[in-house]
Chains A and B, each alone.
Chain A
Amino acid sequence: MVEFLNQFGGIGLAFLGGGLAAALCCIGSARGTGLAGEAATGLLAEDPGQFSKCLILQVLPGTQGLYGIVIWFFTLLQMGVFGGGGMPNLTITDGLKFFVACLPMMLGGFLSAIYQGRVAAACINIVAKKPDDWAKGIILCITVEFYAILSLLASFLMLLNIGSWLS
């Protein structure tokens, strides 16, 4: 058991980190875009002409999923998966470093996407009542988005320098 952990635990943890960053961000984005989409159906049933505005509001919480994929990709890159040199060799400590580096994106992306989705859903009201002012709703959504960007930066900068910290 201990031997198994020593041999595969590190790489497992690293994959877990990258995978969760992608998965949680995607779940958050799915939930966020879902919330906005549901809200939009109510309006579109009345006024199908507002489709493009609703669509833009709906895709706004979708970016977190992309950020998650960026971190996932970068984790794999830093692990050396794409190097073609076979399975990378990571100690458990190394694996944990990867996992922790992915943490900001995991949580930040997951939660911010949901909250952004709720703002986007509420902004459908603006489209319904004051279609000309809907762009202000976008600004409200983007305010939430910034924290996903900060999470992305935090994870990214940790991953970037991880090479020099690996044992």
Chain B
Amino acid sequence: MAIAKMKKIKGFAMQADRDTLLRELQLLGCLEVSEMGDAPEEKEWLEGLEGSETKLSEYRDRLQSVSSAIKALDKYAYVKSAMFKNRSEIKLSSFFDEQLPEKAMNYVSEIEAAERELLRLYAQEDKKKAALAFLELWLDLDVPLDYTDTNYAGVYFGTIPAGSNFDVFHEELKEASDRVQAIVAGSDREQTGVLVVFHKEHIEQVNSVLRKFGFNRVAFKDYTGTARENHDRISSELASIREEINKSLERLKELGEGREAIKLYYDRISQLIAIEETKEKLIETDKVFAFKGWIPADRVSAVEKVLDKFCSAYELTDPGKDDNVPIKLVNNPLTAPLTMVTEMYSLPSYDGVDPNPLMMPFFTIFFGIMFNDVGYGLVLILLSLIVRAKVKLRGTVKYMMGLMTLCGITSAMVGLLTGSFFGDAIPTIAGLYGKQISLPYLFSPMEDPLLVLIGALIIGFIQIIVGMAINAYMLIRDGKFLDALFDVGSWWLLFAGIGVLAMGGTYWVALAGVAALVLTQGRSKPTLIGKIIGGIASLYDITGYFGDILSYSRLMALMLAGGVIATVVNMLGSLPGSIIFYLIIFLIGHVFNMGLNIVGTYVHASRLQYLEFFGKFYRDGGKPFTPLSLKTKYVDIIKEEN
């Protein structure tokens, strides 16, 4: 329910114990090691010391090849997995199984080899295909392609563009020389393949005609025999290459059996990399290394227990003023899902407050107001509960599902108030059977929109007041009582004054509020004139508050828009008067409406927190607490009791 208190740790331990110590700390998972070298005494230590040698780049390379092997398997040995599948669980001892690296790397290198072979075969296949296409034009020519010049006769294989008429071409050749012969080998859409045989005495005349017709010589290097023979030979070669490709693909499919081992190894290397990355943050001599970092205050004893097993010296201190303390939010199941909303904005700084419990009621109620529908709410609840029952979730998805349940509940509750179940589905279906049923409701955005609008603005006003109260609390907590009184109290006085005025009361309260603002808001300015101008200028902020409150009108507008679309869907469906047609339209229309509305509603509900609520009190800029721990992608590790 708050930002976890952190302790700063600084210490030394023996270089010989380094790897085991880091491993144990990783298993414990509650120490964040930070980079040494920014404090003055650390700079002094760093003098003349070389950074510790690590195997980081070696491990990273290996991770790279393991992950490309996994990709290759996904491509060539694809196994369809269930949509919601739990990760496989594995015991800690088998996670660090000694035989695993060799076994996995064997698979990896075999997969790499098989993939390389496959790519080579594909390249060959392409080459052969191109050769076949090249020969296509000459298939009907029964002259061997290696037919060359004799002492007296010149032989040209070549093409003329499809636009040229062969008969005219042949005619002109005949005119140029009386000892020339041309044969058509074949033609396609672009060109005609021609064989020209001539007496070398007339080579000049023949060449000039050839040039005129755009004759393009073709060289058949490395071919013997006729085009047909070559074509048959290459075709059979292609067939055998394809066979080999199939074999390679089969081989890769077989290698799919190594998938589990490789994935396990992937996670294993990731842990090693985490340790190596930590090592880079240490300062080391031959015998000793120095480290510093952060521990959540409630886990200090656990870390001490590990450190005390080794020869080490350390001190624990509270964070100082300038420390950039990492942020860990501690929440109960009800407020934890809001972490998703907080993280999307920015974590609070260490001297701020955890916004999750503060915005939990607002966020879920806003979502409920905008989504207001019993049916839609139930769908959200059911979906999230099914996913949660089927899979062990973690991270953002877990928060998302939790948020879905909470928001589903509020949506259904607001839907009860407005009497909407998939829009007006129940009255519409009843209408199809000639009956009249209407759900009871307290209010409806269609019938009393002004009431709903005013309600939305009032809810918004409440949130803004709460935000200011939190700001006041933080200021008082930090001992800045006067700031709280001036910055928050003055505004509340003014708000109260406007309220009194609106009820027809005296204007003195509002005037007092204005006076308080003018007198206090310029107090940080150095000069008297500056103070006065700053105070008067602060009155302009009233438009800011006005805009903030008006911004909550979106609650009413989205409530209305979603409801109207749902009604339109029901109406469209009921037009032909058949229940089957209605159900089809119902399904498509409401899925569409829900999908669009979930995104829109979530974002609008978040925006109201970020701009209107957080703007009043939030101190952001915290960096997340990232302890040295086991972070896995493919397997879950079960820790055994030892």
A101 at the interface (CB under 8 A from B): no
How far apart sit A60 and B599, CA to CA, in the bound complex (Å)?
Answer: 8
Which one of B568, B599, B604 lies within 8 Å of A59 (CB-CB)?
B599
- Stretch of A7-15, A36-44, A61-69, A92-100 contacting B (4+ beta carbons < 8 Å): A61-69
How far apart sit A27 and B567, CA to CA, in the bound complex (Å)?
Answer: 23
A70 touches B561 (CB 8 A): yes
Which one of A56, A69, A157 lies within 8 Å of B449 (CB-CB)?
A157
Contact with A along B593-615 (1 / 0, CB 8 A): 00010011001101100100000
Contacts of B557 in A (CB 8 A): 149, 152-153, 156
What residues make up the interface of A, taking CB atoms closer than 8 Å to B?
A: 56, 59-60, 62-63, 66-67, 69-70, 73-74, 135-136, 138-139, 141-143, 145-146, 149-150, 152-153, 156-157, 160
17 contacts between A and B (CB under 8 A): A56-B599, A59-B596, A59-B599, A62-B596, A63-B596, A66-B565, A70-B561, A139-B603, A139-B610, A145-B600, A145-B604, A149-B557, A149-B558, A153-B453, A156-B560, A157-B449, A160-B449
B561 touches A67 (CB 8 A): yes
B65 at the interface (CB under 8 A from A): no
- Starting from the known contacts A69-B565, A70-B564, 9 additional A-B residue pairs (CB-CB under 8 Å) come to A63-B596, A66-B561, A66-B596, A73-B564, A74-B564, A142-B604, A142-B607, A153-B553, A156-B560
B599 touches A69 (CB 8 A): no
B528 at the interface (CB under 8 A from A): no
How far apart sit A143 and B560, CA to CA, in the bound complex (Å)?
Answer: 19
Contact with A along B276-301 (1 / 0, CB 8 A): 00000000000000000000000000
The number of chain B residues touching the other chain, given as a range, is 20 to 34
Which one of A135, A153, A160 lies within 8 Å of B344 (CB-CB)?
A135
B565 touches A70 (CB 8 A): yes
Known contacts A136-B344, A153-B553, A142 near B564 by CB under 8 Å: no
B551 at the interface (CB under 8 A from A): yes
Contacts of A160 in B (CB 8 A): 449
Contacts of B556 in A (CB 8 A): 153
Contacts of B606 in A (CB 8 A): 139
Contacts of A152 in B (CB 8 A): 557, 560-561
Chain B residue at minimal CB-CB distance from A82: B571
How far apart sit A14 and B560, CA to CA, in the bound complex (Å)?
Answer: 22
Contacts of A157 in B (CB 8 A): 449-450
A73 touches B568 (CB 8 A): yes
How far apart sit A79 and B238, CA to CA, in the bound complex (Å)?
Answer: 73
How far apart sit A150 and B565, CA to CA, in the bound complex (Å)?
Answer: 18
Which one of B344, B551, B568, B604 lies within 8 Å of A69 (CB-CB)?
B568
How far apart sit A136 and B610, CA to CA, in the bound complex (Å)?
Answer: 11
Contacts of A73 in B (CB 8 A): 564, 567-568
B560 touches A70 (CB 8 A): yes
Contact with A along B558-599 (1 / 0, CB 8 A): 101100110110000000000000000000000000001001
How far apart sit A73 and B453, CA to CA, in the bound complex (Å)?
Answer: 20
B607 touches A139 (CB 8 A): yes
B554 at the interface (CB under 8 A from A): yes
Contacts of A56 in B (CB 8 A): 599
| Distance of A113 from chain B, by nearest CB (Å) | 13
Chain A residue at minimal CB-CB distance from B553: A153
| Distance of B565 from chain A, by nearest CB (Å) | 6
How far apart sit A156 and B449, CA to CA, in the bound complex (Å)?
Answer: 9
Chain B residue at minimal CB-CB distance from A161: B450
A150 touches B596 (CB 8 A): no
How far apart sit A17 and B450, CA to CA, in the bound complex (Å)?
Answer: 23
Known contacts A139-B603, A153-B557, A160-B449, A146 near B564 by CB under 8 Å: no
| Distance of B263 from chain A, by nearest CB (Å) | 18
Chain A residue at minimal CB-CB distance from B595: A59
Chain A residue at minimal CB-CB distance from B550: A150
Contact with A along B24-54 (1 / 0, CB 8 A): 0000000000000000000000000000000
How far apart sit A160 and B554, CA to CA, in the bound complex (Å)?
Answer: 17
Chain A residue at minimal CB-CB distance from B558: A149
Contacts of B344 in A (CB 8 A): 135-136
Which one of A63, A143, A156 lies within 8 Å of B600 (CB-CB)?
A63
Contacts of A138 in B (CB 8 A): 603
Contacts of B453 in A (CB 8 A): 153
Known contacts A73-B564, A156-B560, A149 near B607 by CB under 8 Å: no
Closest 5 CB pairs of A and B: A135-B344, A70-B564, A149-B557, A142-B603, A149-B554
| Distance of B296 from chain A, by nearest CB (Å) | 24
Chain B residue at minimal CB-CB distance from A67: B561
Contacts of B450 in A (CB 8 A): 157
| Distance of B621 from chain A, by nearest CB (Å) | 14
Contacts of A60 in B (CB 8 A): 599-600, 603
How far apart sit A143 and B551, CA to CA, in the bound complex (Å)?
Answer: 11
Most buried by A among B344, B554, B557: B557
How far apart sit A156 and B603, CA to CA, in the bound complex (Å)?
Answer: 23
